[in-house]
Amino acid sequence: MSQFRLTQTPPSLNPPSDRMVRVKINGIEVEVPNGENIIESAKRVGVDIPYFCYHPRLSRGEAANCRMCLVDVYMPRKNPDGTETLAKMPKPQTACTLPAAQGMVIETESEQVVRDRKGILEFLLINHPLDCPICDRGGECPLQNNTIFYGPPTSRYIEEKRHFPKAYPLSEYVVFDRERCIHCARCTRFADDISGDAQLAFLKRGADMEVGTFAQTAYRSKFSGNVIELCPVGALLSRTYRFKARPWDLHTQKSICSRCSNGCNVKFDYRLEQLLRVNARVNEEVNEEWTCDRGKFGHDYVSAPDRLKTPLLKRDGEFVPISWTEALDRIVEQLRQAGSNVGGIGGQRCTNEDNFVFQKLFREVLGSNHIDSRLGRYQGPVNRPLFERFGYHGMGNRIADLENMKTLFVFGSELVDEQPIIFLRVRKAWRFKGASVVNAVTRVEEETTKVADFAEVNLIYRPGTEMALLLALAHVILHEKLLPKNASTSALAQRVGDWTPARAAAETGVAAEDIVRAAHLLVNGPMAILVGRAITEHPEFEALVEVLGDLVVATGNQGNLNIPGTECNTQGAMDMGVLPDVGPGYRPIDPPGMNTHRMLEAAASGQLPVLWIVGAKLVENYHDADLARRALENCPFVIVNELRLTETARMADLVLPAASVAEKDGTYTSCERRVQRIHKAFDISPDIKPDWLIFTEVAAMLGGTPYFSPRDILRDIAATVPMYAGISFRSLGDAGIRWEYPAGDA
């Protein structure tokens, strides 16, 4: 169970008022919201106030401790005779905690401020090792930058500096150089305010003060990598990037994280065809400026030494490298023989462009509708159960909308692992906006970043009893008459039966009072539901979604039922029509082809002569692994597009080396339907091809029209898929575009 509970912080991050006030900064008059932080006001007029500890997304609780942002402040004062004079505050103030007020006058370059800043920097550098030549931060370090522009040219300190071991391994990914720490409390506040695991704190005091974890245990957070970027000096460093490059030697390319469906905006920093680090890009709508550790450190596969670099053909049970010409000839030969009796599985981790060409090859060139990107248990009609009822697939809300909910119901999801950035929004809603969270899970892990730490009610139920829990919640809502009279509760009322909390308690193992408490929270709208893997992989998935649907209808929260996808382009693969029953843009296909499961069954019984698997780890992850194995064994010709020789690839007859996210251009569509651009950073080998190119080459050899670039494909997508109308590489910009269902379609 949760061990600690941080408190909710009053909303200190936003300007507290809509009222505008006039302030004057270095002689420039400007209107700003009353109470706005002066650092932000100064940014509006292009005045630069240096700072270290201030951070717009972190609370000010422990902060204002670097003193770098000192400014002179004058306030208007009424004299007894009614006139007004400007009175100077006797001492400089920290701009980062100074709320703008009517008539305030700020001077950032007065003689005193300039001298004070020098003094502050001299103090900060007293114990700083100044080992910039071997510091990863060198060249992009706020301490270096502020010292150049505001610091003293020399130091008077000749005594011994304090010393600590240089690289204390703080977490699996982060090493800590305590000598370089300037005690800004950004990392400790991050742990409290954002990730919520609260594992970093200041220990000791005065000159001995240091950042640390409890009893020198490892810092275990699912978001630990962010502190590396937050730290204004080189105290917190990446274990994987340390000593690998100087920042000015890196090339940078904008991209989208490929490790989950949330679609964090990232930068790939690389050098000599090696991806060296992944940093976040700001996208207020998506990841703000965070990434999870999986995204930040989980792209090592891109430059892994075991990347496939040539096509491999299995001869007598052994793989032999072959040329692309030979590989394509083989494929074409097999496809010609098979006719339309071929199956295609995968695409959730490919771009929209890859997927579009994938399905086009199957449908238009080969004449087969046996194509499916889904690997989960539910493989029924894609428009059920959500679209038919509510008019959308996947998520009804934007990720950013979640922070404005009063209640968030996380159901059957290890949210932090399944949807890390959605987790951060949910936490933000709780921490800064006063939302309550109801968390229904089968178990709570010890000592990790998790929803249970801040959920108002944790319903820990026995696996398989989801339905009973849900009906009991509905029972309370209906029988205690928690909803207004005009609520549309009829659908729900038909279902609840006699699922009283007491009966459900016996069934689910959740205390009846907790069910009642949760039900009382759920009616406090706006309320959004986030559904996780325990539900999507549930045998009764459709029935559960029906009831959840009734629940959002009854509580007046239509559109707030969210079933986010799992992979970086789960959504896009569906939009592109890599599904047996619908084509691009969810256009119905008649007759529908076989879904993944049926294709595997057909292959297992030797009835599918060719199976093409695109970046799907079937043997590893498919819920019926045995079936997957038999299918691969009994299918005469299995083609696998992969980055590395996975277990699935090992069972193939032909393995094609595919390009990773860093080696191709294109777009992904995140779980909230945001189409976002990935940019090609580098080529690892000339013999690695992006999936779309492989498909288009095969299509061309079989008489289809080829595409020449992802731009070309996207143009075609925009013309064919109504929701993507108007989307182009240019229009996507940096923030991407969240597509809407065309009006009247829903």
Partner 1 sequence: MATTENGPGALEPRPAPPKEQRFSLNAIQELEEIASHYPERKAACLPALWIAQREYGGYLTPAAIQEVADRLGMSYAEVEGVATFYTMYNLRPRGRHHLEVCTCLTCAVMGAYDVVHELERALGIEVGGTTRDGEFTLSEVECLDYCGAATVVQVGDRYFTHVTADNVLNLIEELRQSEEYTPVKLADAIVKLHLPGSSQTGGGSRTGEQIRNNELY
156 in Cβ contact with 122 (< 8 Å): yes
422 in Cβ contact with 260 (< 8 Å): no
- The conformation of residue 227, written as its DSSP 8-state character, comes to H
* Distance of closest approach, residue 621 Cβ to partner 1, in angstroms: 24
Q: Are strands 610-614 and 342-346 parallel, antiparallel or unpaired?
A: parallel
Residue 740 is which amino acid? E
Nearer to partner 1, 78 or 205 (CB): 205
Q: Which two tokens stand for residue 237?
A: 């460093």
> Quick one: what does residue 183 bind among ligand SF4, ligand FES, partner 1, none, with the CB cut-off 5 to 8 Å set by partner type?
ligand SF4
Binding status of residue 552 toward partner 1 by CB under 8 A:
no
- Give the H/E segment covering residue 20: strand 20-25
> Quick one: what does residue 51 bind among ligand FES, partner 1, ligand SF4, none, with the CB cut-off 5 to 8 Å set by partner type?
ligand FES
- Among 42, 54, 409, 461, the residue binding ligand FES under the rule CB under 6 A is 54
Binding status of residue 305 toward partner 1 by CB under 8 A:
no
- Give the H/E segment covering residue 70: strand 70-78
Give the 3-state DSSP-derived string for 442-495, with helices as H, strands as E and coil as C.
CCCCCCCCCHHHCCCEEEECCCCCHHHHHHHHHHHHHHCCCCCCCCCCHHHHHH
Binding status of residue 244 toward partner 1 by CB under 8 A:
no
Q: What residues pair up with 73 in beta bridges, in sequence order?
A: 106
User: Among residue numbers 277 through 296, which ones bind ligand SF4 (CB under 6 A)?
Assistant: 287, 291-292, 294-295
* Distance of closest approach, residue 259 Cβ to ligand SF4, in angstroms: 3
By rule CB under 6 A, what count of residues binds ligand SF4? 27
Binding status of residue 260 toward ligand SF4 by CB under 6 A:
yes
Binding status of residue 215 toward partner 1 by CB under 8 A:
yes
Binding status of residue 198 toward partner 1 by CB under 8 A:
yes
- Among 262, 352, 458, 676, the residue binding ligand SF4 under the rule CB under 6 A is 262
Binding status of residue 671 toward ligand FES by CB under 6 A:
no
User: Among residue numbers 181 through 210, which ones bind ligand SF4 (CB under 6 A)?
Assistant: 181-187
720 in Cβ contact with 585 (< 8 Å): yes
Binding status of residue 543 toward partner 1 by CB under 8 A:
no
Q: Are strands 174-176 and 168-169 parallel, antiparallel or unpaired?
A: antiparallel
- Among 79, 216, 325, 486, the residue binding partner 1 under the rule CB under 8 A is 216
> Quick one: what does residue 287 bind among ligand SF4, partner 1, ligand FES, none, with the CB cut-off 5 to 8 Å set by partner type?
ligand SF4
Q: Which residue is nearest to ligand SF4 (CB)?
A: 295
Binding status of residue 435 toward ligand SF4 by CB under 6 A:
no
* Distance of closest approach, residue 237 Cβ to ligand FES, in angstroms: 22
Binding status of residue 211 toward ligand SF4 by CB under 6 A:
yes
* Distance of closest approach, residue 599 Cβ to ligand SF4, in angstroms: 29
Q: How many CB atoms lie within 10 A of CB 465?
A: 17
User: Among residue numbers 93 through 122, which ones bind ligand FES (CB under 6 A)?
Assistant: 94, 96
By rule CB under 6 A, what count of residues binds ligand FES? 12
> Quick one: what does residue 264 bind among ligand FES, partner 1, ligand SF4, none, with the CB cut-off 5 to 8 Å set by partner type?
ligand SF4
> Quick one: what does residue 123 bind among partner 1, ligand SF4, ligand FES, none, with the CB cut-off 5 to 8 Å set by partner type?
none
User: Among residue numbers 10 through 29, which ones bind ligand SF4 (CB under 6 A)?
Assistant: none
Q: Which residues of 315-336 are buried (b: 16+ CB within 10 A; e: fewer)?
A: eeeebeebebeebbebbbebbe
> Quick one: what does residue 169 bind among ligand FES, ligand SF4, partner 1, none, with the CB cut-off 5 to 8 Å set by partner type?
partner 1
The pair phi, psi for residue 306, each rounded to 5°, is -95, 20
Considering only CA atoms, which of 704, 707, 710, 742 is closest in space to residue 723? 742
Find the part of the chain contacting ligand FES (CB under 6 A) among 10-18, 50-58, 257-265, 448-456.
50-58
Nearer to partner 1, 304 or 625 (CB): 304
Binding status of residue 233 toward ligand SF4 by CB under 6 A:
yes
Angle at 484 between CA 481 and CA 490, to 5 degrees: 70
Considering only CA atoms, which of 134, 135, 132, 124 is closest in space to residue 51? 124
* Distance of closest approach, residue 97 Cβ to ligand FES, in angstroms: 7
The pair phi, psi for residue 240, each rounded to 5°, is -85, -25
* Distance of closest approach, residue 100 Cβ to ligand FES, in angstroms: 15
User: Among residue numbers 444 through 463, which ones bind partner 1 (CB under 8 A)?
Assistant: 447
Binding status of residue 625 toward partner 1 by CB under 8 A:
no
Find the part of the chain contacting ligand SF4 (CB under 6 A) among 93-101, 262-270, 310-318, 725-733.
262-270
22 in Cβ contact with 30 (< 8 Å): yes
Burial of 686 (0-12, 13-18, 19+ CB in 10 A): exposed
Considering only CA atoms, which of 75, 52, 72 is closest in space to residue 64? 52
Evaluate the CA torsion angle 706, 712, 717, 720 in order and state its sign: negative
Q: Which two tokens stand for residue 270?
A: 């690389």
- Among 38, 47, 58, 64, the residue binding ligand FES under the rule CB under 6 A is 64
Binding status of residue 217 toward partner 1 by CB under 8 A:
yes
* Distance of closest approach, residue 243 Cβ to partner 1, in angstroms: 8
Instruction: Give the relative orientation of helices 541-554 and 466-479 as an angle to the nearest 10 degrees.
Output: 20
Binding status of residue 133 toward partner 1 by CB under 8 A:
no
Binding status of residue 200 toward partner 1 by CB under 8 A:
yes
* Distance of closest approach, residue 54 Cβ to ligand FES, in angstroms: 4
Alpha carbons 631 and 214: distance in angstroms, whole number: 51
Q: What does the chain come to in residues?
A: 746
353 in Cβ contact with 569 (< 8 Å): no
435 in Cβ contact with 408 (< 8 Å): yes
Q: What residues pair up with 31 in beta bridges, in sequence order?
A: 22
Binding status of residue 172 toward partner 1 by CB under 8 A:
yes
Alpha carbons 363 and 53: distance in angstroms, whole number: 57
* Distance of closest approach, residue 175 Cβ to ligand FES, in angstroms: 25
* Distance of closest approach, residue 225 Cβ to ligand SF4, in angstroms: 9
CA distances from 144 to 140, 151, 279, 349, 461 (A): 8, 9, 20, 40, 53
Q: Is the peptide bond before 385 cis (omega within 30 degrees of 0)?
A: yes
> Quick one: what does residue 94 bind among partner 1, ligand SF4, ligand FES, none, with the CB cut-off 5 to 8 Å set by partner type?
ligand FES
Would you call 200 helix, strand, or coil by DSSP? Answer: coil
Binding status of residue 344 toward ligand SF4 by CB under 6 A:
no
Nearer to ligand SF4, 166 or 503 (CB): 166
Q: Are strands 210-212 and 527-531 parallel, antiparallel or unpaired?
A: unpaired
422 in Cβ contact with 403 (< 8 Å): no
* Distance of closest approach, residue 180 Cβ to partner 1, in angstroms: 16
Alpha carbons 600 and 621: distance in angstroms, whole number: 14
Q: Please report, as ranges, the residues that interact with ligand SF4 according to CB under 6 A.
A: 181-187, 211, 230-233, 235-236, 257, 259-260, 262-264, 287, 291-292, 294-295, 420-421
Binding site for partner 1 (CB under 8 A): 3-7, 165, 167-173, 175, 191, 197-205, 212-219, 239-240, 242, 297, 447
Give the interface with ligand FES as residue ranges (CB under 6 A): 51-54, 64-69, 94, 96
